[in-house]
Structure 1
Amino acid sequence: MMTFTGRIAAAAALATLMGTTAMAEGLATPNLAYRTGPFAATGIPLMNGQADYMSMLNARDGGIGGMMVDFSECETGYSTEKGAECYEKTKGSALVTQPWSTGITLQVLPKTNIDKIPILAPGYGFSPMGDGKVFQWAFNTPLSYWDGASIILKYLQDMGDLSGKKVAFLHLDHPFGKEPLPYLEMKAESLGFELLPIPVGLKEMQNQSAQWLQIRRERPDYVIMWGWGAMNAGAITEAVKTKFPMDNMLGVWWAGHDADLKLVGEDGKGYKSVSWSFPNMDAPVMADIKSLVIDAGKSQTTPEEMEGVFYSRGLIISAILAEGITVAQEHAGTADITPSDLRWGLENLNFTEARIDELGLTGMVPPFSTSCSNHTGHSGGWMLEWDGAKFVKASDLIMPDSEAISELETAKAQEYAEENAPWPVNEDCQM
């Protein structure tokens, strides 16, 4: 692994080779943002974190490999239709597409084999995308939704035998919310618990009285919440109102937004959310962002938002993309990489503890690595708990059930390929 100093020297050498014309063109990494619409409350801090990390690289390092990063946004409002329009609008010069919705991801996924532009969907999208042999251009590093469901169940198993228990699955009635069902259904059968799916329609997100009436009637032992945006605040306030024990309510990482819990404060104490990122204000990268971006007036964030889980997750997402670009540049021997080069870079990520420290991200993301066959990384995650004022780590790193998930990935990826035949498969990938 090249040292940090070596990487900087290599970047400088690449910049010299490419000259000023390439630097002016920059690296096009469009973001299909959602700062408006029903999910804006979660989108804004995520987009701010993403943008601020790239702004920091531009200000501190002159971009990546000597080329400035063009991190333009195309607003989708989380609409699948608008997302598809944004993809078509930006794909001409793009190194990557960041769809920011499972629905948009599914819409764009078949186009990747034709357009040959990588999809980067960190911690979201279609879980079988982890099978890189079938989904050659799609990446959901560092964790899939099946990984998240696995970690939650492992955490619950540590609290006691799940056999005979009733687990309510409160989820957005949207492709995102339905993603973990194949894994949860499989584990309910093998572990002997009753799975109770409770969908929340897009128009019901802020008024979930019917869903919580069902929860009061069914009296589940646990509620797993697969929410996003306004659904999270609606569910948490209803849980408090109905006096559901918050210790027994656990959410996916998109249901662990500080602002949602601050609505209920102390009453939300004990609520948990699995996470593959964690805010660490003492991490070196935060000082660089503050001095070069925040204090320089180049950010839309606020001091309070900057301390939250979602802002730091946005930073991690851009750090994953930036590292993929760096690895691709080193492999290609040029800073002016192609989408195919970036695909190679994203297939060869190696976020070791040492590399995480070199990037100034200490304590903010678990170690993980990818390969041509493993486009997820399956990093493991922490359980975060609301202490009444903020989220704190409530567990050590919990690793997902990779063997069972891998088998499910292979089966569902093959099923997708057959349903969408002819579908090219990377037969050369053996890793």
Structure 2
Amino acid sequence: MIHFKRLATAVALGALAAGGALAQEISAPNLSYRTGPFAATGIPVMNGQIDYFTMLNERDGGIGGVKVNFYECETGYNTEKGVECYEKTKSDAIVTQPWSTGITLQVLPKSNVDEIPILAPGYGFSAMADGSVFKWAFNLPSSYWDAASMILKGLGGDDMSGLEGKKIAFLHLDHPFGKEPLPYLEKKAEDVGFELVPIPVGLKEMQNQSAQWLQIRRERPDYVVMWGWGAMNVGALTEAVKTRYPMDQFVGVWWSGHSDDLQVVGEDGKGYRSISFNAPVENAPVMDDIKEFVVDTGKTQSDEEQRSEVFYQRGLVMSAALAEAIAAAQTHFETDVIDASQLRWGLENIEMTEERIAELGMTGMVPPFSTSCSDHTGHSGGWLLEWDGEKFVKASDHLMADAEDIEPLEKQKAQEYAEANAPWPTQDCEM
């Protein structure tokens, strides 16, 4: 395995030769949510994220000889608290991770002023993929529109023709997160010829969805697609079992594929699927390093079961992408302690090839992807994961989103956003 310190040897040796101190650190705050109604979802991901940087700090002395201070500011998934955390942490931050589509939308206009990149891996406003409009925002490796596209392909075939004449209930959190895929889903419903039935779930209804599932029983949809998070997932799964809805016709976004949620229904949840841009690989080499440098030294908040699951390993993948961007920026700018602007360049130049993923010890955990000035998502694609009664397993080949439909929609919605928030600075990605 190639370690980060070896990747940035030239940078580190140059600083040493010049008598530079390598004791400085890189500040990378995470606007976490370990409390509140979504804590069950947030905790394993946050554990995976912080454990990856702890491993780098312990194993390699950080990245390029500089330790990363990956610390958390608790938001409870509350938008107001999230904005407070952003303001509190931005003074020395090279990045902000809002961890909520609502918080992301509030922070997005600030990014142009504060010039701090927003990293929203697998969430946020899908049009942030358009780097020419959203210079400071990144939602790699896959967006919510990507997720919706992959789900439809998984259900209806690559051309989605199998969905013609079908009815799809869209059970979603009544929140910016839950509404995000609607522009794409509405377009595809019209293009393909299926009926889309949006069924919102309010924050106060997450644990008692009897009204929503009564509507589902009346509508008799061919499929239920869920955009749920935290307590909403358990509520929906419990109602699906109670009403005997066929689990093989029930599919969720990647935040609706948490092992703990499915364990509540156990064998009754068998056949349920979720789309995911990562897959759990228990024997991946990176897991050995996590055990040696983080677990065995008592520096983790996770347990053995959690570390084998999708969400914890998703946190590892997310932090690996950020670490790759930091390393790329260090090398490009020939400096060990990078600033926010330099990280922005690094985030535009991530190259997660199959070879690099293998070097990171993550083969099979994430598909290859790359970013650029114009593409701030990378559109990695993903897999459908299926609950086998005890755990999630891969249930599809690698799926790719429908770029022909998504790219024009990204540009359209990005331009609409820029016009609505004028004057909005853009960058020329053709240079």
**TM-score of the superposition, structure 2-length normalised?**
0.97
Number of aligned residues:
428
Q: Which residues of 2 match residues 250-269 of structure 1 at below 5 A? A: 250-269=251-270
Q: 1:338 Cα shift?
A: 1.1
Secondary structure, aligned partner of 1:83: helix
CA distance in 2, matches of 1:113, 1:375: 15
- Matching residue's letter, 2:302: T
Q: 1:94 Cα shift?
A: 0.2
Q: Which residue of 1 aligns with 2:415?
A: 414
Instruction: Tell me if structure 2 keeps the 8 A contact 1:14–1:335.
Output: no
Label 1:95 to 1:18 Cα distance change in 2 as closer, same or farther (>3 A).
farther
CA distance in 2, matches of 1:85, 1:246: 40
Secondary structure, aligned partner of 1:65: coil
CA distance in 2, matches of 1:277, 1:14: 37
The superposition leaves residues 391-414 of structure 1 with CA deviations (integer Å, 9 ceiling, x where unpaired) of 000011000001210000000000
Instruction: Tell me if structure 1 keeps the 8 A contact 2:247–2:269.
Output: yes
Label 1:318 to 1:218 Cα distance change in 2 as closer, same or farther (>3 A).
same
Q: Which residue of 2 aligns with 1:245?
A: 246
Q: Which residues of 2 match residues 354-373 of structure 1 at below 5 A? A: 354-373=355-374
Q: Which residue of 2 aligns with 1:219?
A: 220
Q: Which residue of 2 aligns with 1:324?
A: 325
- Matching residue's letter, 1:106: L
CA distance in 1, matches of 2:20, 2:63: 14
Label 1:320 to 1:205 Cα distance change in 2 as closer, same or farther (>3 A).
same
Q: 1:8 Cα shift?
A: 4.9
Label 1:358 to 1:15 Cα distance change in 2 as closer, same or farther (>3 A).
farther
Label 1:334 to 1:379 Cα distance change in 2 as closer, same or farther (>3 A).
same
- Matching residue's letter, 1:51: I
- Matching residue's letter, 1:56: M
CA distance in 1, matches of 2:54, 2:6: 22
Q: Which residue of 1 aligns with 2:93?
A: 94
CA distance in 2, matches of 1:93, 1:224: 41
The superposition leaves residues 302-326 of structure 1 with CA deviations (integer Å, 9 ceiling, x where unpaired) of 1111111000000011001000000
Secondary structure, aligned partner of 2:53: helix
Identity %: 70
Structure 2 gaps of 5+ residues are none
CA distance in 1, matches of 2:247, 2:14: 53
- Matching residue's letter, 1:270: G
Secondary structure, aligned partner of 2:289: helix
Structure 1 gaps of 5+ residues are none
Q: 1:184 Cα shift?
A: 0.1
Q: Which residue of 2 aligns with 1:386?
A: 387
Q: 1:11 Cα shift?
A: 5.0
Q: 1:83 Cα shift?
A: 0.3
Q: 1:4 Cα shift?
A: 7.3
Q: 1:364 Cα shift?
A: 0.5
- Matching residue's letter, 1:398: L
CA distance in 2, matches of 1:235, 1:73: 30
Q: Which residue of 1 aligns with 2:82?
A: 83
Q: Which residue of 2 aligns with 1:340?
A: 341
Aligned: 1:145 with 2:172: no
Aligned: 1:112 with 2:111: yes
List structure 1 runs of 4+ shifted beyond 4 angstroms: 2-6, 17-20
Q: Which residue of 2 aligns with 1:126?
A: 125
Label 1:17 to 1:364 Cα distance change in 2 as closer, same or farther (>3 A).
farther
Q: 1:161 Cα shift?
A: 1.6
CA distance in 2, matches of 1:175, 1:188: 20
Instruction: Tell me if structure 1 keeps the 8 A contact 2:329–2:342.
Output: yes
CA distance in 1, matches of 2:328, 2:296: 30
Secondary structure, aligned partner of 1:195: strand
The superposition leaves residues 187-218 of structure 1 with CA deviations (integer Å, 9 ceiling, x where unpaired) of 00000000000000000000000000000010
Instruction: Tell me if structure 2 keeps the 8 A contact 1:15–1:66.
Output: no
Q: Which residue of 1 aligns with 2:204?
A: 203
Instruction: Tell me if structure 2 keeps the 8 A contact 1:257–1:309.
Output: yes
CA distance in 2, matches of 1:335, 1:257: 37
**TM-score of the superposition, structure 1-length normalised?**
0.97
Q: Which residue of 2 aligns with 1:155?
A: 154
CA distance in 2, matches of 1:378, 1:14: 36
